């Protein structure tokens, strides 16, 4: 540590001084999730009126962004996100945030090949004995950001877990300035509890998972209900290769169901590129050799995923039509989230030996006091197709599970009507015939 003490002292600056490095017409990158800065953000907010056409690029913000809130009419700051959190969705509804479409696993390549980064500001763990600032559980595309940025600022926080893995830090020699944030309470993310529908979906998926399978799950009641069922089942020797590390995976590991003994990559370790959850989860990840944090092009690209056998991918969908194409990120023109890693994990799981990819959805939902079907004849106007019909494998609702691989359009339509809510099946069949998805005589 003594070798870097003088350089650290020389590069340490206040958040206000760091914010002065941002000029008009700059691209500023805030990074991902827990890795987004807070002190710097507040300092930049104080300078907003002095700047013009500053573009902030971020992803899955877990706290309100002060610089955006300081410019409620968007005259000075534009915020752009790869994948919306609830906070970014609210900013989007106010016209203060715009979406950048992306397959998540391609993000590092986007930065290295296409994206301009004038100033990168990332929250990290404090400097280690080797002069590195560890990215913590937000490895994702941060290394590529620091490689591309003209100016790199790190905001160190002692609460950030120190993670083991690949491309998981930046050296002080590559850093322009260091902001010492002390030790703060990191934002947490709570999983919604599983209800009756989620339990029924989870039961069907859990029955399809074999000993030694390698699982990927995301946030949400359905995927986490699967983990709860597996924790109490006789299953054994599971592996984990996932995009997002969540509390239910930690619980599954603690019950002894996860060993990683059958993985081909990072054997005996759980691979992920980012984490969000409870404070206990962050403590679990800190210097834990059972966990491997890699960049998102390591965790999410299909040709990496498929190297493991029996990969099981469990993702959510918001709407699916009778031909099989799935919408998981928008409600009409309103962006809800993003493509994220869904399409790449579905492709990677299918390509793995014995792999299975599941899309989960409740059969219906309530809107304006009316029940609406999530299975529709045709994707609603302006809805974004996240997963093409050619990629969808298993579709699961509380009324059953169907595998669309190898099925014709009429067979798909009939299968999906069969797992729709009973109140909508007759109407769906009528519309399917009107759209010529079903012939007069179904074989």
Active site residues: 243
d(CA 417, CA 324): 11
d(CA 126, CA 149): 20
Give backbone dihedrals phi and psi of 311, rounded to 5 degrees, phi first.
-70, 135
| Sign of CA pseudo-dihedral 148, 151, 155, 156 | positive
d(CA 125, CA 172): 12
Residue 214 CB: number of other CB atoms within 10 A?
Answer: 29
How does strand 364-367 pair with strand 370-373?
A: antiparallel
Cα–Cα–Cα angle for 330, 331, 334, rounded to 5 degrees: 75
d(CA 306, CA 288): 25
| Sign of CA pseudo-dihedral 73, 74, 77, 78 | positive
* CB hemisphere CA count around 58 (13 angstroms): 32
Residue 154 near residue 178 (C-beta atoms within 8 A)? yes
Residue 298 near residue 277 (C-beta atoms within 8 A)? no
Residue 443 CB: number of other CB atoms within 10 A?
Answer: 7
37-60: buried (b, 16+ CB within 10 Å) or exposed (e) per residue?
Answer: bbbbbbbbbebbeebeebbbbbbb
Tokens read off for 198? 């989620």
Residue 105 near residue 82 (C-beta atoms within 8 A)? no
d(CA 218, CA 195): 17
Tokens read off for 407? 């099925």
| Chain center to CA of 390 | 23
d(CA 263, CA 265): 6
């Amino acid at each position: 540590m003594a070798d870097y003490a003088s350089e650290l002292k020389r590069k340490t600056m206040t958040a206000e001084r760091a914010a002065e490095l941002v000029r008009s017409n700059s691209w500023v990158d805030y990074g991902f999730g827990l890795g987004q800065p807070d002190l710097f953000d507040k300092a930049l907010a104080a300078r907003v009126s002095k700047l013009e056409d500053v573009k902030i690029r971020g992803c899955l913000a877990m706290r309100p962004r002060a610089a955006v809130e300081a410019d409620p009419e968007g005259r000075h700051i534009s915020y752009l996100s790869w994948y919306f959190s609830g906070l970014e969705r609210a900013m989007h509804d106010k016209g203060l945030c715009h979406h950048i479409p992306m397959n998540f696993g391609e993000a590092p390549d986007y930065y290295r090949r296409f994206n301009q980064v004038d100033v990168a500001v990332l929250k990290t763990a404090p400097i280690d004995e080797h002069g590195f600032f560890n990215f913590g559980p937000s490895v994702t595309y941060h290394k590529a950001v620091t490689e591309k940025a003209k100016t790199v600022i790190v905001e160190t926080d002692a609460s950030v877990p120190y993670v083991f893995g690949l491309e998981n830090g930046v050296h002080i020699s590559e850093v322009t300035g260091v902001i010492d944030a002390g030790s703060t309470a990191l934002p947490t993310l709570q999983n919604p509890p599983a209800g009756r529908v989620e339990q029924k979906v989870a039961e069907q998926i859990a029955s399809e998972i074999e000993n030694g399978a390698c699982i990927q799950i995301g946030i949400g009641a359905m995927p986490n209900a699967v983990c709860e069922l597996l924790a109490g089942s006789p299953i054994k020797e599971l592996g984990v290769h996932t995009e997002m590390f969540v509390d239910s995976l930690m619980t599954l590991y603690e019950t002894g169901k996860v060993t990683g003994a059958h993985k081909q990559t990072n054997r005996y370790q759980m691979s992920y590129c980012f984490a969000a959850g409870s404070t206990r989860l962050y403590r679990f990840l800190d210097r834990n050799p059972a966990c491997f944090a890699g960049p998102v092009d390591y965790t999410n690209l299909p040709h990496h995923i498929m190297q493991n056998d029996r990969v099981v991918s469990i993702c959510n969908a918001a709407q699916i039509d009778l031909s099989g194409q799935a919408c998981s990120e928008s409600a009409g023109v309103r962006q809800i989230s993003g493509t994220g890693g869904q399409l790449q994990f579905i492709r990677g799981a299918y390509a793995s030996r014995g792999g299975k990819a599941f899309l989960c959805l409740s059969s219906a939902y309530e809107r304006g006091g009316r029940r609406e079907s999530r299975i529709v004849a045709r994707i609603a106007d302006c809805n974004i197709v996240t997963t093409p019909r050619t990629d969808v494998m298993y579709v699961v609702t509380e009324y059953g599970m169907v595998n669309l691989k190898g099925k014709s359009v009429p067979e798909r339509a009939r299968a999906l009507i069969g797992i729709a809510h009973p109140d909508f099946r007759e109407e769906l069949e009528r519309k399917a015939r009107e759209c010529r998805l079903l012939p007069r005589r179904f074989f």
